[in-house]
Amino acid sequence: MFRLLLHGFLIGILTVLTQLGGLAWLVALAFRRRVLAFLIAYAALGVAAVYIAPQLGRTAMTCFDNGSLQVQSWFYCLTNRTYVTAELADVLQDAAAEVDRAYPGTTTMMLDGNFPFWDGFPLLPHLSHDDGEKADLAFFYQDSEGYLQGRTRAPLGYFAYEPGRSSCAPKLLDLRWDMAALQPLWRQYSLDVDRTRYLISVLARDPRVAKLFVEPHVKSTLGLSHGKIRFQGCGAARHDDHIHLEL
């Protein structure tokens, strides 16, 4: 009974975290060397998803791309979190190319997108990344020497919050994690205001983009006022560490 519960727990956790991991563990149960079998099955499913997902309306943003748009970390590719619709992929590529033209040598970095299959399947901890039409982009950063290409303050681009006054009162249970204990651990880079402002402005002008979520104090710092640039609300995660966009 304990083994059944354990395997059920692993299948659930791996499915929630990667969508395909639970199926890979289920396949691995048929083999004696389960960990090895799991790794082989998971890799096979991941490769298959790259080719199958486009037939169902989503495409993977690759970690092998060294152009103006890059996935910020291999973590996102290995956990199948870089899938978006073809239209959103074009939006991201076009925006990154335009920023690179305005500021040569700039790399725009994508964070979470969506899983490869099944509209409505949650990409935790996000509330809305469930249909291939949403993606997050990292802020641009600089130090005393200037722009830092391909770098973020936190290892995965999230949770390194910009200083500023919150628009929400603290609550015991919500998604606005402050993670105050982690903030001193991040790299002490500063926000590259010009590049970040320009990227958001490019996205806001794009008729294919419906809305952008940025924390109000960041919006104020950047001097932006476009109607598509909105506050995500006090019940959702903070957006003073990244840009959320959706079609």
pLDDT above 80 for 235: no
pLDDT > 90: percent of the chain: 74
Looking at residue 13, its pLDDT comes to: 92
Which amino acid is present at 170?
A: P
pLDDT score for 38: 95
Which whole number is the average pLDDT over 93-102?
97
Q: Is the pTM of this model over 0.85?
A: yes
pLDDT band at 105 (very low <50, low <70, confident <90, very high): very high
Q: Is the dihedral of CA 219, 206, 56, 120 positive or negative?
A: positive
Question: What average pLDDT does range 66-82 have in this prediction?
Answer: 94
Q: For each of the domains in the chain, give its residue range(s) and CATH number, in order of start.
A: 1-56 (no CATH), 60-246 (3.30.1380.10)
Q: What is the pLDDT of residues 163-222, one digit of tens each?
A: 877 767 766 566 677 788 888 999 999 999 999 999 999 999 999 999 999 999 999 999
> Tokens 């901890």 appear where?
125
Q: Say how many residues make up the chain.
A: 247
| Residue 16: per-residue pLDDT | 92
Give the pLDDT of residue 222. 94
At 37 the pLDDT is 96
Residue 219: predicted pLDDT: 92
Q: What is the pLDDT of residue 143?
A: 94
If you average pLDDT over residues 117-129, what whole number do you get?
A: 89
